[in-house]
Amino acid sequence: MERYCSVTLDYGSKSLVFKSEAGINLHKALLLNHSGISSPCGGKGTCGKCKVVVSGELSPPTEIEKSKLTRQELDAGVRLACQAVLTGDVKIRIKDEKSAFIQIDGLPYKVGISPVSQRIQIHLPGTSLTNCPDDVKRLRDGLQRDHLKISRSLMAKISNLLNEREQDILATVTEDELADINIFAEQTPDYGFAVDIGTTTIVGYLVNLITGEIEDTVSELNEQAAFGADVLSRISYGKENAEGNRVLHDKIVSQLGHMLKKTVERKGLAKDAICGISVAGNTIMMHFLMGLNPFRISVAPFTPVFTSSYFCRGEEIGLAYHPRCPVYILPSIAGYVGADIVAGMLVCSLLDPTRTQLLVDIGTNGEMALSREGAVLCCSVAAGPAFEGAGIRWGVGGIDGAIDSVDLKDGTLKIHTLSDKKPIGICGSGLLDAVSIMVQNGIIDEGGRFAEPCEWSPEAAGLWDRMQEINGEKVFVLTGPGCLPEETIFLCQQDIREVQLAKAAVHAGITTLLNNQGTTPEQVDAVWLAGGFGNKLRKESAVNIGLLPKELAPKIRFAGNTSGVGAVMALLSKDCRDKCDIIKTKARYLELSALAGFNDTFIESIGFEA
Ligand code: FES
């Protein structure tokens, strides 16, 4: 007989209780009860990030937990949720990571307005025995569009809404379809919702379709993160669990609906005022949104189901909150160069034939595109999760308390944390700064190994006491003296290796694009860094560690959330939607794993240059 346990979740400010079957691990119990926690490896026991503090009845710590957790953590009741199996009632303390820093802003945009869809007010004359056209004809005549498509489900609505008397109607119309009709009540502006679905975060922009202005933004962590931090973990969750892909699809669509509802209510709008949605994101997120199985993108030859732009209505993707709303999905280029990069190319005008430009978006994958004389070459490299905080012993995302910058001034190491909170870990930008300082001052050598203090620069001489041994391992401590052992944040040799692999992948990708386009770094007019990480990093640190070729340093510009701004532009303008299709047609994708010589370029990029 199944036994049930009581699980109490203590979030500090609130608590929640649910019943769960005994014998399953905490990670699964939390997922089943819609209380996902950070689990970058998707519950495989490799990332060590699903830490929870638990009291109550659980299986004893596994070997994996003993290797991932310190003695002090184990003594304090810290467990890995994906390893600890429920044997009785428990109480779990969870750190709320909702206050993450999410990139919302981007480059300013200016477009002509011809939105994905708009509402048109029409007056329908009444019918009589001598003049009785059918309702569909009356609507088409009223809109002066003889061939407008009208779905069966909309005809069902029409059959209940129209009558033989005169009526004023508000029709939501796309380029070729009547998407919805309602009885006209009052004249209010049309709005649209542009969405950037990132693997880590989702940002939605409420856009006034008359003025073109963004009137509200709503941003949240992607709730799919509970199934893995990166797209590959989520694909494997979808493959290994019956209904896994459906669960991931439901998560993304319900979160989209919930975010839309949030902004609609906040602005006091009627739901029907939202007459169009545009969505950009990586190819795998677009597959999950559409309810498609993305598995083949994860194995050679990395084939997506679709990459073209796609129009549908909300109901087709299961958007229960607004089923009749037209939805436009931007085109992608390949399995690992998605609609987010197409949006970025649109925002940064990569098709401009007069300029040579490079767009780089660094996340778990580093995606990049190089344009020259209007021809675009793009590729994607597996940068690994280091810059997103995973795979690094004390790595965290951009959350309160994350060390986001590190400086060495007058021989003193200074750290800064997000929201000036007590340090709880280090995020990508802080990691880059720390490694840059270590490279510049000889604390690590060209091969990435910790050097002997006698080889350090005089500027770093005062940091010798930061080289310590913790749990039998040589580490460089970032937090100041006086920290409790369990709060001492450090970088170990393996962390440096992870950074090396990530930076080498990005550097090699850029070098390969330049070589294949016959372009030198000097010929590049602008380098656009897109995305949350790109926006926070310091140019000097990125160049010092060799993430970007040093000749490009003076040309670096921060472009912000180009995926979000591109989605806004596509929502507003037919010209921009057409440009997205042109970008898709013109961009040539370079599959690096099939390219002779890429491995050599990667290996050449792996060392550090002081
Ligand atoms: S170790 Fe538990 S989710 Fe990664």
For residue 2, name the pLDDT band (cuts at 50, 70, 90).
low
Nearest to 499 by CA among 413, 392, 603: 392
Gap between the Cα atoms of 595 and 610, Å rounded:
30
Gap between the Cα atoms of 220 and 204, Å rounded:
9
Q: Is 427 exposed, middle or buried (0-12, 13-18, 19+ CB in 10 A)?
A: buried
Does 564 score more than 90 pLDDT? yes
pLDDT, tens digit (0-9, with 9 covering 90-100), for 458-499 = 999 999 999 999 888 999 999 987 777 778 999 999 999 999
Distance of CA 379 to the CA centre of its chain: 18
Distance (angstroms) between ligand 1 centre and the Cα of 218 equals 28
For residues 32 and 209, the model is more confident at: 209
Per DSSP, the residues of 382-402 read: E--SGGGTTTSTTB--SBTTE
Distance (angstroms) between ligand 1 centre and the Cα of 378 equals 33
Backbone CA torsion sign across 458, 459, 462, 468 = negative
Distance (angstroms) between ligand 1 centre and the Cα of 408 equals 34
- Is residue 238 lining ligand 1, measured as CB closer than 6 Å? no
pLDDT, tens digit (0-9, with 9 covering 90-100), for 56-93 = 999 999 999 988 888 878 888 889 999 999 999 999 88
| Mean pLDDT, residues 559-576 taken together | 94
Beta bridge partners of 361: 367, 530
Angle among Cα 45, 49, 50 to the nearest 5 degrees reads 75
- Cα of first residue to Cα of last residue in the chain, in angstroms, is 65
For residue 551, name the pLDDT band (cuts at 50, 70, 90).
very high
What is the assigned CATH class of domain 192-329? alpha beta
For residue 34, name the pLDDT band (cuts at 50, 70, 90).
low
The DSSP letter of residue 481 is: T
Angle among Cα 137, 138, 141 to the nearest 5 degrees reads 80
Length of the chain, please? 610
Return the pLDDT at 440: 96
Does 35 score more than 50 pLDDT? yes
Gap between the Cα atoms of 236 and 77, Å rounded:
30
Residue-averaged pLDDT of the chain: 91
For residues 2 and 315, the model is more confident at: 315
Ligand 1 atom closest to 46 (CA):
1
Return the pLDDT at 258: 97
Distance (angstroms) between ligand 1 centre and the Cα of 396 equals 13
| Mean pLDDT, residues 166-176 taken together | 94
For residue 119, name the pLDDT band (cuts at 50, 70, 90).
very high
What tokens does 408 get? 């060495």
Q: Which of 38, 46, 230 to mutate to test the pocket of ligand 1 (most atoms within 8 A of CB)?
A: 46
Distance (angstroms) between ligand 1 centre and the Cα of 37 equals 10
For residue 13, name the pLDDT band (cuts at 50, 70, 90).
low
Q: Which of 24, 39, 393 to mutate to test the pocket of ligand 1 (most atoms within 8 A of CB)?
A: 39
Judged by DSSP in three states, 378 sits in: strand
Most confident of 27-31, 263-267, 469-473: 263-267
Return the pLDDT at 71: 81
For residue 328, name the pLDDT band (cuts at 50, 70, 90).
very high
CB 324 within 8 A of CB 180: yes
Does 97 score more than 50 pLDDT? no
Bridge-based pairing of strands 425-426 and 402-409 is parallel
Gap between the Cα atoms of 513 and 376, Å rounded:
10
pLDDT, tens digit (0-9, with 9 covering 90-100), for 522-544 = 999 999 999 777 777 899 999 99
pLDDT, tens digit (0-9, with 9 covering 90-100), for 416-450 = 999 899 999 999 999 999 999 999 999 999 999 99
Per DSSP, the residues of 289-336 read: HHT---GGGGSTT---S--S-EEEEHHHHT-TTSTTSEEEE---SBTT
Distance (angstroms) between ligand 1 centre and the Cα of 228 equals 9
Residue 225's Cβ-side half-sphere holds a number of Cα atoms within 13 Å equal to: 22
Q: How far is CA 105 from CA 205, 216, 554, in A?
A: 10, 12, 22
Q: Which of 80, 92, 224 to mutate to test the pocket of ligand 1 (most atoms within 8 A of CB)?
A: 80
Ligand 1 atom closest to 83 (CA):
2
Could you identify the residue written with the tokens 């299986």?
59
Long-range CB contacts (within 8 A, 24+) of 478-486: 478/394, 478/403, 478/406, 478/413, 478/415, 478/423, 478/426, 478/434, 479/415, 479/423, 485/70, 485/72, 486/70, 486/72, 486/73, 486/76
What tokens does 530 get? 């897109």
Domain limits of the chain? 4-93, 118-183, 192-329, 339-384+526-604, 386-498
- Is residue 385 lining ligand 1, measured as CB closer than 6 Å? no
- Is residue 418 lining ligand 1, measured as CB closer than 6 Å? no
Gap between the Cα atoms of 325 and 269, Å rounded:
15
CATH dotted code for 4-93: 3.10.20.30
| Mean pLDDT, residues 574-600 taken together | 95
pLDDT, tens digit (0-9, with 9 covering 90-100), for 47-56 = 887 888 899 9
| Mean pLDDT, residues 128-138 taken together | 94
Q: Which of 25, 49, 233, 388 to mutate to test the pocket of ligand 1 (most atoms within 8 A of CB)?
A: 49
Judged by DSSP in three states, 150 sits in: strand
- Is residue 69 lining ligand 1, measured as CB closer than 6 Å? no
CB-based contacts of 549, cutoff 8 Å, min separation 6 = 507, 510, 511, 521, 543
Q: Is 132 exposed, middle or buried (0-12, 13-18, 19+ CB in 10 A)?
A: exposed
